């Protein structure tokens, strides 16, 4: 960007500064996560340059007439990141909210229809939902669909058989499960989400409409390319498929496993907050939350957990690669503190 060659007026400069400040934290977080070998000062410089370029581009798009939209199938920039066969991934907004709550058998049979209802989520997120309630079983299907879509540019029709998807989910492949699977796909299509994550907004369905061959039970459906905005700048998390499958009979543990998987080193959480994230209520919610932590510990996702009067602290059993990442982050923090002390002297 060269402001001397492209001078901005007073109002344009104000809009530019606002846009730059809005995206700068995202660039900083992404660069520190993916370029940990660089010095903190160089990381900050790259973040500043990237934020300025994006702000300039946004300002330019506001003043230029819209161009004809390209075919998303030919736009490789809309392809999801690769996260490996042993993982499943989704935007942080999915894992850090009660968009896929824990529902009892009775609640599943009598799902509520929500109309523009605010969904509980952590700070920095806002979700408004219209449609029939999802649940953790729906999330299992949704995660598999994102995995199938992963190798292709978003907007490319993804094809799979009901048999393949049921086998991937570890479910029986009989006719009744074909019916349940189709019900889930229709429910995922019918739900409309309005998600805002740190200045990025997506509104629409989690999947687009699809097609099924009644003779072969083969499906074809599309995931909206604009949905990729929620994966930008590292705004997504991955979780271990093996661990999630081992938690299958405890949906509260599955919900909390997804939530904790979006954190490197979670702090102590209020029991009430975790109950809201999972969507559970009632007098026994504390007991249910504690039991879920025990199940996660038995599955070796948690090293341990500490229960206090109204909160709980989970200690994640990190993989070797996660441990290396944490060590690098701590090293960078210490280096920055040392640099600050040196400058002060």
CA distance 139 to 207: 12
Residue 4 lies in a domain: no
Q: Which of 207, 232, 257 is the last residue of a domain?
A: 232
CA distance 333 to 308: 29
Q: What angle do CA 283, 285, 287 make, to 5 degrees?
A: 100
Local structure of 123: helix, strand or coil: coil
Q: Which of 63, 85, 103 is the last residue of a domain?
A: 63
Q: Are residue 151 and residue 15 in the same domain, yes or no?
A: no
Q: How many residues does the chain have?
A: 345
Q: Are residue 28 and residue 173 in the same domain, yes or no?
A: no
DSSP letter string over 6-27?
Answer: S---HHHHHHHHHHHHHHHHHH
User: 271 with 312: CB under 8 angstroms?
Assistant: yes
CA distance 313 to 155: 41
Q: Are residue 138 and residue 223 in the same domain, yes or no?
A: yes
Residue 255 lies in a domain: no
CA distance 217 to 163: 8
Q: Which domain holds residue 161?
A: 71-95+125-232
Helix axes 251-261, 285-298, angle to 10 degrees: 70
Quote the number of domains for the chain: 2
Q: Are residue 87 and residue 197 in the same domain, yes or no?
A: yes
**pTM, rounded to two decimals:** 0.73
Q: Are residue 26 and residue 88 in the same domain, yes or no?
A: no
CA distance 39 to 89: 29
Residue 129 lies in a domain: yes
Q: Are residue 138 and residue 47 in the same domain, yes or no?
A: no
Residue 247 lies in a domain: no
Q: CB-based burial of residue 29 (10 Å sphere; 0-12 exposed, 13-18 middle, 19+ buried)? A: middle
DSSP letter string over 186-204?
Answer: HHHHH-EEEEEETTEEEEE
Q: Are residue 81 and residue 202 in the same domain, yes or no?
A: yes
Residue 181 lies in a domain: yes
CA distance 79 to 244: 25
Q: Which residue has the tokens 């049979």?
A: 109
Q: Are residue 139 and residue 161 in the same domain, yes or no?
A: yes
Please tell me the predicted confidence (pLDDT) of residue 10. Answer: 64
Please tell me the predicted confidence (pLDDT) of residue 70. Answer: 41
Please tell me the predicted confidence (pLDDT) of residue 175. Answer: 86
Residue 113 lies in a domain: no
Q: Are residue 143 and residue 76 in the same domain, yes or no?
A: yes
CA distance 3 to 120: 42
Q: Are residue 139 and residue 39 in the same domain, yes or no?
A: no
Please tell me the predicted confidence (pLDDT) of residue 17. Answer: 73
Q: Identify the H or E element spanning 189.
A: helix 175-190
Residue 267 lies in a domain: no
Q: Which of 197, 232, 267 is the last residue of a domain?
A: 232
Residue 28 lies in a domain: yes
Please tell me the predicted confidence (pLDDT) of residue 2. Answer: 44
One digit per residue, the tens of pLDDT, for the chain of length 345 reads 444 445 666 666 776 776 667 656 656 655 665 566 678 788 788 778 876 776 676 556 445 444 444 443 444 446 677 788 899 999 999 999 999 999 999 999 999 999 999 999 999 899 999 999 999 999 999 999 999 988 888 888 999 999 999 999 999 998 899 999 999 999 999 999 999 998 889 999 999 989 999 999 999 999 888 888 888 767 889 999 999 999 988 999 999 999 999 998 899 999 999 999 999 998 899 999 999 999 999 999 999 999 999 999 999 997 666 666 566 656 666 666 666 666 665
Q: Are residue 91 and residue 215 in the same domain, yes or no?
A: yes
Please tell me the predicted confidence (pLDDT) of residue 76. Answer: 45
Q: Are residue 203 and residue 137 in the same domain, yes or no?
A: yes
Q: What is the CATH number of the domain that holds 211?
A: 1.10.10
């Amino acid at each position: 960007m060269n402001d001397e060659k492209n001078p901005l007026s007073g109002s344009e400069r104000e809009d530019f500064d606002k846009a730059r400040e809005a995206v700068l934290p995202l660039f900083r977080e992404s660069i520190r996560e993916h370029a940990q070998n660089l010095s903190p000062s160089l990381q900050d410089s790259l973040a500043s340059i990237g934020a300025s370029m994006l702000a300039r581009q946004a300002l330019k798009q506001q003043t230029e007439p819209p161009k004809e939209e390209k075919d998303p199938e030919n736009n490789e920039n809309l392809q999801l990141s690769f996260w490996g066969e042993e993982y499943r991934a989704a935007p942080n907004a999915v894992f850090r909210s009660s968009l896929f709550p824990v529902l009892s058998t009775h609640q599943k049979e009598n799902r509520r229809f929500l109309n523009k209802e605010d969904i509980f989520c952590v700070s920095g997120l806002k979700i408004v939902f219209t449609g029939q309630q999802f649940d953790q079983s729906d999330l299992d299907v949704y995660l598999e669909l994102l995995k199938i879509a992963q190798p292709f540019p978003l907007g490319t029709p993804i094809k799979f058989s009901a048999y393949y998807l049921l086998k991937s989910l570890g479910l029986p492949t009989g006719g009744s499960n074909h019916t349940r699977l189709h019900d889930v796909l229709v429910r995922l299509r019918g739900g409309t989400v309005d998600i805002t994550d740190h200045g990025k907004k997506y509104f629409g369905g989690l999947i687009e409409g699809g097609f099924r061959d009644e003779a072969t039970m083969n499906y074809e459906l599309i995931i909206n390319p604009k949905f990729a905005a929620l994966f930008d700048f590292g705004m997504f998390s991955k979780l271990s498929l093996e661990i999630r499958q081992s938690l299958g009979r405890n949906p509260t543990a599955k919900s909390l496993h997804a939530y904790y998987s979006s954190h490197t080193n979670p702090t102590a959480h209020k029991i009430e907050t975790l109950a809201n994230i999972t969507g559970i209520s009632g007098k026994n919610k504390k007991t249910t939350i504690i039991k879920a932590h025990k199940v996660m510990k038995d599955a070796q996702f948690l090293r341990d957990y500490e229960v206090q009067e109204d909160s709980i602290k989970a200690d994640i059993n990190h993989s070797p690669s996660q441990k290396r990442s944490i060590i690098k982050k701590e090293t960078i923090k210490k280096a920055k503190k040392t640099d600050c002390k040196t400058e002060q002297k």
